[in-house]
Structure 1
Amino acid sequence: MHHAITLDALRALDAIDRKGSFSAAAQSLYKVPSALTYTIKKLEEDLNTSLFDRSKQRAVLTPAGRLVLEHGREILFAATKMTDALSQLESGWEKELRIARDTVVPEQVLYGLLNEFTQLPHQVDFSLSVEALGGGWDALHSKRADIVIGASGELPKGRFHTHKIADISFVFAVSASHPLAVKKIIEPEDLADYPAVVVADTSQLLPVRDSGLFNSKQVIRVNSMQAKLNAQKQGFGVGFLPLHLATPYLNSGELVAIPCSIPRPAQSLYIAWNKGQDGKAFNWFIERLCQANWSL
């Protein structure tokens, strides 16, 4: 029983069900009908059960046959996937690529490249994640990401390759209905009565950092720059926003930009990856990510 079910037997069972007869299945498998008949008969003897109802003209599976086929197709799929993955690995194409994106970077460019890659004949799986602040460096450091888009802050020395993609500017913005919207300029004392919305650092191993903090009534930490933008549009918090993300809402009047005496310098963003990493999918993405027009 332990060796009863072979891949050849499962392929024969699958072909008979799909083609509707032993002869048609044998032809599709480039076998003579007698060989297929022997394979199925041997499988039935080993399993001690009938897999086909032979009282009918057409090959009809018994309930036991249907059960074996359902599980068998899962085994065939797994076997095919394994051999394809092994062949792909030997050809230099990775099985999986992990790409992390800082939440300050919109996903459109990455999604466009993913769409382009999926047209290629390479079965690479992708794991996409989002990070914030120092989380990009942490993702590389902890090996939970192969490539990071939008890493920022002080560049770690020695272990990463980097490629600068943009300098982003920040604007202090509040909802049009917020009490601060009528101010001509924001001074530090103006902020003491209102919550500040900040994006939480996603670092797990490296020290976390706060960005854009100032003295405020309370701090509301959110998990992405989009969530911060939405919170400030709702009017229950204030803070600096990346100009490229805030501009559509400044133009529509939902947000109001106010000069602020608290400095918020521009920030450089980088594509980053570990030194020494290789792989055809990895190199394909590094080349195109570094050449992309990020328009931030």
Structure 2
Amino acid sequence: MPSPRDVLTPDALAMLQTVVSAGSFAGAARTLNLVPSALSYRVRQIEDALDVLLFDRSARQARPTEAGAELLREAARLLADIDAVANRVKRVATGWEPMLTIAVDSVIARDPMLDIVGAFFALEPPTRLKLRDETLLGTTEALTTGEADLAIGTVLNAGSLAFTTSGILSRPLGELRFIYAVAPHHPLARFEGALTEDILRQHRAVAAADSSRAGPSMTVNLVGGQDVLTVPTMQAKLAAQLHGLGGGYLPEPMARPYVEAGHLVQCRTARPMHSVVLHCAWRARSAGKPGRALEWWLAQFEHEGTRRALLERHRGR
């Protein structure tokens, strides 16, 4: 006996749709240029393989049973999926990647990032996107290990040691300044003067964990001997500091709306405020230019407004 896989072919599913649209086996047979007995035999083969009745044959019209109606609903979806796959394959053959994986550092503003994703989808490309949340060297590692095709917000550029043998290219996004901030009810919020390392050591710091899994990890602006609350992302670090769970450096554009609203207090530190230059980086093909999806994304970073938005337009601004 044929199995369901043997009988549930695209042609068979289309045949069942024709029976329903024609309203009878005789009408469907004429449409399909078959004799009625041949059509009935093919339908019976499907029913035998599934061990169900697909049509109520007690009337002149071919009315789907409940099981038949369910199969027809799935048939419409499956046939649409087949058409979509065929179209996707045709477009991939024109230079579009099947999948583009993007590692996004947690200092990057999410709303403008998703705006770019929306603009990409508006092209109706065959390329599927996968976004990865990363922090610090984890953003770099996703690229060098081949788990990502593009990294946005990496602290390393193409000349860095981690990239020199990996076929990595990069371009700067811009400079991001950090400020030290605490919640208004935190003890350091009332401190007058610059915070020295001795003072900071007496209070808990909040740190965003480096998402690197295979290589070395990076810690930034922590004082030796200081109690540390480690959270997974920069957004979680901001939330922890808003709750008064510790202090620490935050990207100025991310923290500024909360400082202006009185939900955070910016503190002076004896250590000068620091800034970092962030980059976008990507893996170069061994031959030829980037795929069309990566090429489109790289073109977005040529616009200063886009680069600034990714670094500065955090929610609340």
- The answer on whether the counterparts of 1:98 and 1:144 sit within 8 Å (CA) in structure 2 is yes
Equivalent residues in 2 for 1:71-90, closer than 5 Å: 72-73=75-76, 75-90=78-93
Q: In the superposition, relative to structure 1, how do residues 281 and 253 fare at CA in structure 2: closer, same or farther (>3 Å)? A: same
- 1:21 counterpart residue number: 23
Q: SS state of the match for residue 169, structure 1?
A: strand
- 2:43 counterpart residue number: 44
Question: How many residue pairs were aligned?
Answer: 292
Q: What is the rounded CA distance, in whole Å, between the counterparts of 1:32 and 1:290 in structure 2?
A: 56
Q: SS state of the match for residue 213, structure 2?
A: coil
- 1:274 counterpart residue number: 283
- 1:294 counterpart residue number: 308
User: In the TM superposition, what whole-angstrom CA distance separates every residue of 1:186-227 from its partner, at most 9, and x where no partner exists?
Assistant: 011112221110010011222111112113541111111111
Q: In the superposition, relative to structure 1, how do residues 153 and 282 fare at CA in structure 2: closer, same or farther (>3 Å)? A: closer
Q: 1:210 aligns with which of 207, 219, 225?
A: 219
Q: What amino acid sits opposite 2:23 in the alignment?
A: S
Q: CA deviation at 1:151?
A: 0.4
Q: In the superposition, relative to structure 1, how do residues 262 and 6 fare at CA in structure 2: closer, same or farther (>3 Å)? A: same
Q: Cα RMSD between the aligned structures?
A: 2.7
Equivalent residues in 2 for 1:56-205, closer than 5 Å: 56-66=59-69, 68-70=71-73, 72-73=75-76, 75-153=78-156, 155=160, 156-158=163-165, 159-183=167-191, 184-205=193-214
Matched, 1:283 2:282: no
Instruction: Calculate the TM-score normalised by the size of structure 1.
Output: 0.88
Unaligned runs of 5+ in 2: 313-317
Unaligned runs of 5+ in 1: none
Identity %: 27
- The answer on whether the counterparts of 2:22 and 2:28 sit within 8 Å (CA) in structure 1 is no
Equivalent residues in 2 for 1:230-245, closer than 5 Å: 230-245=239-254
Which is further off, 259-268 or 140-149? Answer: 259-268
- 2:268 counterpart residue number: 259
User: In the TM superposition, what whole-angstrom CA distance separates every residue of 1:211-246 from its partner, at most 9, and x where no partner exists?
Assistant: 121135411111111111111111110111111111
Q: What is the rounded CA distance, in whole Å, between the counterparts of 1:12 and 1:265 in structure 2?
A: 69
- The answer on whether the counterparts of 2:174 and 2:279 sit within 8 Å (CA) in structure 1 is yes
Q: What is the rounded CA distance, in whole Å, between the counterparts of 1:73 and 1:34 in structure 2?
A: 22
Which is further off, 73-82 or 262-271? Answer: 73-82
Q: What amino acid sits opposite 2:308 in the alignment?
A: W
